[in-house]
Structure 1
């Protein structure tokens, strides 16, 4: 595709039933019609037929029958032939069971186009937003392990094939995007006790700073409680953090494993000697 219009046609073809497979695909492959000529959306039938000279009401009625999968009646076929509509076009109408509206196809492509634009021109903002939305599927430890470690884990998951759980599928999808981001030179920074946002990935000069929710077991409510607690002042110890932020021992252990608690003593007790 080289134009926006072609992308709209492809969107229509991919969302219909019996529109592409065994229909438009064969017509294009056999050079009977081009991408711009085959039926891709319901509106195209009406405009094509009006362009060929059919009365607008008849063109609309035929479009409605085809897009609902009702096929064509003998009178419809006779009328189409009278106005020299190609046989391949008539046959295509008879195969279709559902047609996507052009307005929906345009909306899908516009959304995809916007996303693609930001992905190309504003990569940090794109990936920060993507992982903020998909934070539940983000594997912080996998990403922090480096590119090769991430690739190894992706291969292990992919080897499971259809045995992957829904959670693993979500994780794999996020890993693919993280892998892509890393190949583009974008770094992921570990959770910082004082600088990380509760839920959002932050853009920094050094890379994308992971949110507090990237710590396994640390949910959104707990992350917001932690943020409120740190506003009151620095934490004196792990014990102080656990008490003020109301964190479980399991979360504290995960934070320690990710290096979030470096330099923080275990308790508030002072060592005199």
Structure 2
């Protein structure tokens, strides 16, 4: 019997392995095929049972909506009073009437500003050069509808509006889909059309068509198709009428604009939003103390009292506390990363602000002492020498490419507000005052920002209510606060307040 060599046996085994692998790949491909087909079928369907904050579908009496769409409980909560349609509204728009009933904070904000200043927002003039300059210079942080980075960077800065009507256009652009971006932005930038020649709101479409000579009814029909993003379904006879009224160049340009629109904002909404923004801007110009007090109270959601001081000593204490607890407190790494991410972005904002002014001395000592680059470099050095290799790797990996979470964006906004206050020379003292601080409201008076008790981590509304009740009944809280409040505060509260006191952040005792 011939004995086969080891080399031949290995070769035959390898051939069999390859044959088995090919059979397996074929079987796997056959098995995956139905799965891939199912995935393709599932693309685009509803992935959550979330709920629009105010979108309501109106049905006729005795109409069973489930003939047209299944219903879901929002967030799968079977105790919910409302139910949601499984299919999106766009699939049901030919069957039901939809209304949006949305809540707005701005009337509450204006009412609060009215109470603090005595200036009735309904009496504010819409012809004020100082207010207009705020929009022209994109100095709109905290102004509703005009204070987002997108509006400031992509609309206010390039367009430099000088008229109220142009602010209405900008409101239309910012709320539309494929109205400014991926459409008229490039046309304006190339100089083919001026701002006044652009289409910003639904009514602009009708006005332009009638101005060109299109018959009123056809202009209305065209507007209805275009505002819903249905240019392709617009009847040919109306397109021909529109084309016959325009020169070849004009027709080609405006046909291109109208055909790209997916959704366009109604002008009454744009005007209402712009009026609210303008009225809010009045208080920013003429009553900054009250404006920033209300802004911090109603439009900031995440606070960090140490970071809001803009004081390098207090900030460093906060960061060192997190560095010291990396091994014992599992959330310290996450918190530290978040602060570093936010400070990277805040540093960019600080440098942008510095570029827009010639006199940096006017910013004051706090601004000039707050060297964010140095603070970040010191933290990085401490991390590098801490021995926390995993954390260092995370930091380097995420360093320049990270995206901010929603919570981090909220903290960044809060710090931008405080930074802007400093830039504008509003040199407020900052701190917690046992006898003046409120539960949630940022109180600003006598050139002092009184932080609310709930801005301190771990101190909730219930504890704060007890502190306020104590000072109401017993009188002012003194430097013996630990003894006076010993029945209300736990060890963690006392430790945090002691640290604040050491850094002069418990004030007016």
Assess same fold via TM > 0.5.
Answer: yes
In the TM superposition, 1:179-198 aligns within 5 A as: 179-186=419-426, 187-198=428-439
Distance change (3 Å), C-alpha of 1:81 and 1:163:
closer
Q: How many residues align?
A: 262
Q: Aligned-residue CA RMSD in angstroms? A: 2.8
How far apart are residue 183 of structure 1 and its match? 1.9
How far apart are residue 64 of structure 1 and its match? 0.5
Counterpart of 1:252 (choices 475, 485, 494) is 494
**4+ residue runs of structure 1 moved beyond 4 angstroms?**
148-151, 153-161, 234-237, 260-264
Please give the alpha-carbon distance, in whole angstroms, between the structure 2 residues aligned to 1:38 and 1:102: 14
Distance change (3 Å), C-alpha of 1:168 and 1:95:
closer
2:240 maps to 78
Q: Is the 8 A contact 1:150 1:175 kept in 2?
A: no
How far apart are residue 168 of structure 1 and its match? 2.2
- Gapped regions of structure 2 (runs ≥ 5): 1-160, 312-365, 377-394
Q: Is the 8 A contact 2:302 2:411 kept in 1?
A: yes
Please give the alpha-carbon distance, in whole angstroms, between the structure 2 residues aligned to 1:154 and 1:119: 32
Counterpart of 1:141 (choices 306, 331, 344) is 306
CA offsets per residue over residues 73-123 of structure 1, 9 Å max, x none? 321211112333731222221121111111222222222222222212211
**Corresponding position: 1:117 with 2:282:** yes
SS of the residue 1:75 aligns to: helix
**Corresponding position: 1:242 with 2:486:** yes
CA offsets per residue over residues 224-243 of structure 1, 9 Å max, x none? 22101111114565143031
**Corresponding position: 1:174 with 2:418:** no
Counterpart of 1:128 (choices 282, 286, 293) is 293
Please give the alpha-carbon distance, in whole angstroms, between the structure 2 residues aligned to 1:153 and 1:128: 28
- RCO comparison, higher one (Cα < 8 Å, 6+): 1
Please give the alpha-carbon distance, in whole angstroms, between the structure 1 residues aligned to 2:507 and 2:162: 53
CA offsets per residue over residues 123-175 of structure 1, 9 Å max, x none? 11111111112454222112332546755289859966534333222111111
**Corresponding position: 1:106 with 2:271:** yes
Distance change (3 Å), C-alpha of 1:104 and 1:188:
farther
- Gapped regions of structure 1 (runs ≥ 5): 265-273
Distance change (3 Å), C-alpha of 1:116 and 1:226:
same
- Report the TM-score, using the length of structure 1 for normalisation: 0.84
